[in-house]
Chain A
Amino acid sequence: MGLLKFAGGRVFDPEHGVDGVVQDIFVRDGRIVAAPGSDADIAQEIDCRGRIVMSGAIDMHTHIGGGKVNIARSMLPEDHRGDPLPRTPLTRSSCGYCAPGTLAAGYRYAEMGYTACFEPAVLPVNARQAHMEMGDTPIVDKGGYVMLGSDDFLLRMLAARQDQRAINDYVAWTINAAQAIGVKVVNPGGISAFKFNQRYLDLDEAHRYYQVTPRHILKVLAQAVHDLGVPHPLHVHASNLGLPGNVDTTLATMQAVEGLPLHLTHIQFHSYGAEGDRKFSSGAAQIAEAINANQNITADVGQIMFGQTVTASGDNMTQHRNSGLASPKKFVVMDIECDAGCGVVPFRYRDKNFVNALQWAIGLEIFLLVNDPWRIFLTTDHPNGAPFTSYPHLIKLLMDKSYRKAMLATINPDAAAMSTLGSIDREYSMYEIATMTRAAPARLLGLKDRGHLAPGAAADIVVYRDDKDVEEMFARPQYVFKDGKLVAQDGEIVAVSWGNTHVVRPEYDASIEKQLKPYFDLFHSMRLENFGISDDELCECGHGSKAMPHACRNGRVR
């Protein structure tokens, strides 16, 4: 492949401190290369003058594949009927607004300039299916965080007070078996507790059977992820999601890991006070203050947007508790393999509803009150807060205070009055948006060759028109390049590729399998030998997807 020159664009590359500087970028064989000599033969020049250039965007928390997503799809034919994606000579047909088919999801992500997406809830036992669905998601790269913390094996290790080293081996074994890039814990211990008919599990409340607390689970898993050198900190869906007053739980969760790195996901759903006439208020200021003060904490927001969506979560306890709020009135809850669970509840967020309106304001408050764009991430927890296609609108809300205030004037007035949003004048800069959607997620996940534009990086490059309307700008970039190949232009797919799968491979003592083998034989419904996913299988499951291993902090790539 010849040399490609992106000429004269205003480049935003926060990883290298480049803030809107006019620069040329050169690409060869899918990688960014140093500027060649003046006599170099340029095969193609992309005129970027007057354009904004960034690396491909990375969605670090989006439910795009795995059992619960497919349940959501199967539950919602009415959602799909309203949002068809016709077949073209180049692209396949698909459909779906809040729970789109994988084909629609991949095309739409690429059209918006996203080049990598991470599925945050890969159940170990469902990892094959998650990779199958991610594999059938075109163009973008993907990766998954494997879910632990309500699995019987870990909980019995904790109950038996097994030492941290043994737990680390089990966690590393699971990451390898599931071909994951991180570890997530969802309502620590709560998914299991629900199967024992517990309906709540607070941070220091003991699980009825194992007598283990969520705090203990968090501490041990955060330690394991840290000890193993996995770049991405433990990804935490905290206890008490959605409950008024849960801000205290969330603050206590931050402290529970005693300074270890921790990522709190969809933190908006965990930032609720219990004040006011309706016993529901914003805890955003406290949360933002805590994030600002604790360098070990990162968070993604899980912003809600008004309209129809579907909530799909591993948190069967919470989803069952909220099932009465389903709209339309249907829900699926599932207990899974003594390992995990899921719950799918369709939901419509209404701007005139006090609670929903305040949820919207709380999310924005968190975005605007957290100072460091390297530690707060732009997500809607697709599709739980809203479909990912609402990102351009969300970016506009962050970058344009007059637009934001105009929107605030249209929501439930009691909620607006309870929120400090109207008094916040901060506007995100282009550099900050590039940070939170590119550089920061790549750094947080340990993707050394993504999220930036220096030589050696993969040529995932997006060229935007410098539009006055940032929503329009981010919805339809002029050019999207994936690994050096033009895949989308002006919001249309122009070439279809299939991405690869980012993984980490922490080392472990293989003798952990000596414990696991008899355990599987006695209790499980499948053989240990059929549990792990080999590279060949990943390729087969993942539509030709190749594993792209990233180094753990001990420096080794396996």
Chain B
Amino acid sequence: MENVTCPFCGLACDDLQVDVAAGMPVPVANACATSREAYRRLAPVPGLTARVGGTPVLLDVAVARAAQILGHAINPLFGGFATDLSGARRIVQLADRCGAVIDHMNSTAKLRNLLTVQDAGWITATLAEVKNRADLVVLLGTDAVSRFPRFFERFVWNEESMFDLDPRSREIVYVGQGLDMRAGCAPDGRAPTSIPCRVDEIGEALGAMRSLLAGLAPQAQVVAGVPLPQWAELLEKLRNSSYGVIVWAAPDFDFPHAELTVQTLSALIKDLNRTTRVCGLPLGGSDGDFTANGVLMWQTGLPFRSSFATGIPVYEPHLNSTQRLLDSGEADALLWVSAFNPNRVPPRTELPTIVLAPPGANFEREPDVFIAVGTPGVDHAGHYTRTDKVVALPLRKLREIGLPSVEAVAASIEASLQQAAN
């Protein structure tokens, strides 16, 4: 099968060739290591696919038990929330009915960007703009490829661009530590520029560059452990680029109050756009996070970490985090959805727990209810929103081994709740 969309990272590459002849999808072209590994773990697990208290049961029994748990809960938490378009629609509907809190498994990282959008906004570009236009690519605190393996292959070292730019002439700059910079070498062997500095000090460097741009030279001669002239030089590169792109990945900004770094970056990019064009490229979107959160946002007007407990959606990004609700004991049941990756299991908790995930998950504590679901783009068709949020790609069904979708299971749970209410 050609032109298959891979749902296993935020790039959602849709050029995979997958051999489906043997009933097990095997990528034969264009899949990266992450993708190949994800397809490998799809091997069907024999036996019944739903369990209650660790005992294999029929799907109906598991659904009824899940509905019972949610029906009794006063403050249920819907975590994980890794699913496709149709799954997300049903989960949001169920959350509204149950008065639940919805949070996403990637929300701690996502919040670093979302808070910036809510406080200041930003100027960004999408992948095809980078591919065809960027003459300078600056990577902040990320090498891109550790999380998004084909980033350079598909969007940086492409052979041709739409315009005058020769992609192989692009300048690459890494800012950070411990980055895998091999992908940043140009096809002709030209090495990228590297500015080694701690990721949690990048914000200071961005602030210094803003200051320099405003004509106010900082007094410090060393910023973030790097001599000021190096930052001045990077700033000049940005100012002189025709279309500079600054890449970051929120999960790699893993330090307290990283949203302030993103905010300073947003401000620097806005400043630069007074005279030239420079755009941000926030990389993310893995585990369907833009897909599911997109649905929640457009239906209800609010993002993850919103609560339906009072009959209206209420967004509290700090109060409604999964970890806090579990730690504080405010939640009294957990529904965890991880449709793309069985290894993303819920945080350890003693609460009544329902897990919807593909077969193969290893739990430290067996959930009260486990329902094996299909992987979108493998076991059923669906839709997946890519890292730049603009492009939603169709996911295709590659096999049939009888696994239900998140959508179907959530609908059954809701029907069971409805039945109990009547």
Contacts and interface: CB of A to CB of B under 8 A. Distances in A.
Contact of B383 (A70, A95, A132, A527): A132
Given A330-B120, A337-B129, A523 B161 contact: yes
Nearest to A65: B298
A94 B133 contact: no
A537 B391 contact: no
A332 B391 contact: no
B96 A529 contact: no
Interface string B276-304: 11010000000000000011011111110
A61 to B, nearest CB: 19
- Say which size band chain A's interface belongs to: 35 or more
Interface in A447-465: none
A133 interface: yes
Contacts of B131: 523, 525
Q: Which of A123, A125, A195 has the most CB of B within 10 A?
A: A195
A530 B393 CA distance: 7
Contact of A522 (B133, B160, B298): B160
Contacts of A101: 297-302, 313
Given A80-B301, A129-B392, A338 B242 contact: no
A4 to B, nearest CB: 29
A128 B85 CA distance: 11
A329 B121 CA distance: 9
Contacts of B152: none
A222 interface: no
A71 B281 CA distance: 15
Interface stretch (A85-93, A249-257, A427-435): A85-93
Please name the 9 residue pairs, one residue from A and one from B, whose CB atoms are nearest each other, closest first.
Answer: A101-B301, A96-B301, A84-B312, A330-B121, A128-B392, A337-B128, A525-B128, A525-B127, A332-B121
Interface of A: 65, 67, 69-71, 73-77, 80-81, 84-87, 92-96, 99-104, 123, 125-126, 128-129, 132-133, 136, 152, 156, 194-197, 209, 320, 323, 326, 329-339, 344, 522-527, 529-530, 537, 540-541, 543
A99 to B, nearest CB: 7
B104 to A, nearest CB: 14
Contacts of A323: 270
Contact of A337 (B114, B123, B124, B390): B390
B125 interface: yes
Nearest to B385: A129
B164 to A, nearest CB: 8
Interface string B167-198: 00000000000000000000000000000000
B14 A526 contact: yes
Contact of B14 (A197, A331, A527, A543): A527
Given A67-B389, A525-B154, 5 more contacts: A103-B300, A129-B294, A152-B162, A334-B123, A337-B391
B55 interface: no
Contacts of A540: 85-86, 381, 383
B77 to A, nearest CB: 17
A93 B128 contact: no
A540 B390 CA distance: 18
Given A92-B96, A152-B162, A209-B163, A525 B299 contact: no
Interface in B102-131: 114, 117-129, 131
B301 A338 contact: no
A499 to B, nearest CB: 15
B315 A80 contact: yes
A386 B422 CA distance: 42
B311 A87 contact: yes
Given A77-B302, A99-B301, A338 B132 contact: yes
B300 A77 contact: no
Interface string B366-399: 0000000000000001010100011111100000
